[in-house]
Amino acid sequence: LADTEASMLENVVFASFVFYSTLLILKMFAIAVITGQVRLRKKAFANPEDALRHGGIQYFREDPDVERCRRAHRNDMENIFPFLFLGAVYSMTEPTLLVARIHFQVFFVGRLVHTVAYLCALKAPTRSLAYTVAQVPCVSMAVQILIAVAAYW
Amino acid sequence: LADTEASMLENVVFASFVFYSTLLILKMFAIAVITGQVRLRKKAFANPEDALRHGGIQYFREDPDVERCRRAHRNDMENIFPFLFLGAVYSMTEPTLLVARIHFQVFFVGRLVHTVAYLCALKAPTRSLAYTVAQVPCVSMAVQILIAVAAYW
Amino acid sequence: LADTEASMLENVVFASFVFYSTLLILKMFAIAVITGQVRLRKKAFANPEDALRHGGIQYFREDPDVERCRRAHRNDMENIFPFLFLGAVYSMTEPTLLVARIHFQVFFVGRLVHTVAYLCALKAPTRSLAYTVAQVPCVSMAVQILIAVAAYW
């Protein structure tokens, strides 16, 4: 019976989805690390107890570079977390590997560019374009999922 | 072996869960679009580079209508994302279709009302009531899941 | 065919993962309840309509204790939601039960301590240490997942 789950990873579409999803989660973890580094460098802490440990209560304050990291992180939550669901279920609808991989890769590259554009404050509308490009495969997967389960509401 | 995943979508409880979940994710995407529209209309941007593209750095500012959209979106993340997990696992505990659909539909309607109440600033406690109603099936599913796996901690 | 999903819960590694994940989701729900209680006690509401219902528009304001709860909740979203994905997929890579449970339990305890340290404002670096300890099994699972699916990009 334990073979049931192992066999999910033997589904090449699902395995491809897992590959890009896991990289994107690691990318999110990297933003968290960067946020912490910027907090230390700019001496801007979210909590009094952190500020006290790093020089004094005056460092319990906001900083524009920290807020930028936090916005990038939040936007990832708003978009990458839904992808984790949509991609997994879409993999169950038996798409062709080629089409599925295009969905996953467009999302992956779009979100990578989004992060770089956010953290480096690239000229608008680079970031918005990356966001929009990454949304296309998400909406496409959502529609295909709805078609697949439309009979089951 | 690829049939393993396809067969998950042939589970009518899981398919019903997927139907409502996918609609709720699309609803969250809609909030993101609305947020962007409100930012453009109110000229209130989260980043200097966006403000510069839309008239000047003075539009790098907060706006109460934008913040309202963002609070609605964040509350969705706090509640709909856990539902994506709880509903999927609950579908594996072999509930009856009737009972399961009531769980999914109560959550779905509760979260729809929550979004409308938030974005339209309906009189309190409409929004809080919708939130609480939607939490009931979530806690119910969590408890049933814990009972199903209690032997495996 | 419905047996496919039931059999996932019969996978002891997956069942163990589900046990700790569900408890952590309930823990997140608890933070939401605590946030609401602090808002009522401190009279600090996120929306004008809530303030009007509870004494007047002057209570539409921020409060440091409320913000602390919200930071704890957001940090949970940044870390527990990725765990829900990583743990589920990691369970499909056929780890030994002993090693898998150590991953889940370290994350579980780390996040419990993180929440207590946050809400009680324990002396730094208690909270940061708990965060870091909980990240170790997440990164470990991510790496093992990437190794398992590396051929499928």
Q: Look at residue C7 in the predicted model and tell me its pLDDT.
A: 72
Which band of pLDDT confidence, cut at 50, 70 and 90, is reported for residue B3?
Answer: low
Q: Look at residue A3 in the predicted model and tell me its pLDDT.
A: 54
Helix (H, G, I), strand (E, B) or coil at A124: coil
C-alpha A134/C-alpha A80 separation (Å) is 10
Q: What is the DSSP letter of C123?
A: P
Q: Look at residue C1 in the predicted model and tell me its pLDDT.
A: 38
Note whether B18 contacts A77, CB cutoff 8 Å: no
Note whether A8 contacts B9, CB cutoff 8 Å: no
C-alpha C137/C-alpha C90 separation (Å) is 11
Preferred mutation among C8, C10, C152, C153 to probe A, highest tally of A CBs within 10 A: C152
Environment class of residue A37 by beta-carbon count within 10 Å: exposed (0-12), middle (13-18) or buried (19+)?
exposed
Q: Look at residue A4 in the predicted model and tell me its pLDDT.
A: 58
- Residue B42 confidence (pLDDT) above 80: yes
Q: Look at residue B22 in the predicted model and tell me its pLDDT.
A: 98
Nearest CA among A111, A27, A119, A126 for reference residue A65: A119
**ipTM (interface predicted TM):** 0.95
Please state the rounded mean pLDDT for residues A91-120. Answer: 97
User: With contacts defined as CB-CB under 8 Å, which chain C residues touch B124?
Assistant: 47, 49-50, 52-54
C-alpha C126/C-alpha C122 separation (Å) is 7
Q: Which of residues 11-40 of A touch C (CB under 8 A)?
A: 12, 15-16, 18-23, 25-26, 28-29, 32
- Residue B41 confidence (pLDDT) above 60: yes
Residues ≥6 apart with Cβ < 8 Å to B63: B38, B39, B42, B44
- Residue C38 confidence (pLDDT) above 80: yes
Percentage of the residues of chain C whose pLDDT score is greater than 70: 96
Whether CATH 1.10.10.10 fits A1-145: no
C-alpha distances out from residue B93 to A39, B3, C19, Å: 44, 20, 13
Length of chain C (residues): 153
Residue with tokens 């409060």: C63
Which band of pLDDT confidence, cut at 50, 70 and 90, is reported for residue A1?
Answer: very low
Note whether B124 contacts C16, CB cutoff 8 Å: no
Note whether C48 contacts B121, CB cutoff 8 Å: yes
Check CB contact of B140 with chain C, cutoff 8 Å: no
Query: Shortest Cα distance from A63 to chain B (angstroms)?
Result: 13
- Residue A69 confidence (pLDDT) above 80: yes
Which of B73-77, C1-5, C89-93 is least confident? C1-5
Check CB contact of C95 with chain A, cutoff 8 Å: no
Please state the rounded mean pLDDT for residues A91-96. Answer: 96
Residues ≥6 apart with Cβ < 8 Å to A6: C92, C93, C94
User: With contacts defined as CB-CB under 8 Å, which chain A residues touch B73?
Assistant: 78
Q: Which residue of C has its CA nearest to A54?
A: C124
Note whether B20 contacts A153, CB cutoff 8 Å: yes
- Residue B6 confidence (pLDDT) above 80: no
Note whether A153 contacts B84, CB cutoff 8 Å: no
Check CB contact of A71 with chain B, cutoff 8 Å: yes
Preferred mutation among B3, B5, B79 to probe A, highest tally of A CBs within 10 A: B5
Q: Look at residue A10 in the predicted model and tell me its pLDDT.
A: 87
- Asked if omega into A125 is within 30° of 0 (cis), the reply is yes
Please state the rounded mean pLDDT for residues A105-126. Answer: 98
Please state the rounded mean pLDDT for residues B21-49. Answer: 98
Chains linked to C by 3 or more Cβ pairs within 8 Å: A, B
Summary mean pLDDT of chain C: 95
- Residue A44 confidence (pLDDT) above 80: yes
Preferred mutation among B7, B16, B19 to probe A, highest tally of A CBs within 10 A: B19
- Residue A9 confidence (pLDDT) above 60: yes
For B77-106, how does the pLDDT look when each residue is reduced to its tens digit (9 = 90+)?
999 999 999 999 999 999 999 999 999 999
Largest CA distance in chain C: 61
Q: What is the DSSP string of chain B?
A: -THHHHHHHHSHHHHHHHHHHHHHHHHHHHHHHHHHHHHHHHT-BSSHHHHHHTT-GGGBS--HHHHHHHHHHHHHHHHHHHHHHHHHHHGGG---HHHHHHHHHHHHHHHHHHHHHHHTTPPTTHHHHHHHHHHHHHHHHHHHHHHHHGGG-
Residues ≥6 apart with Cβ < 8 Å to C150: A19
Q: Look at residue A6 in the predicted model and tell me its pLDDT.
A: 62
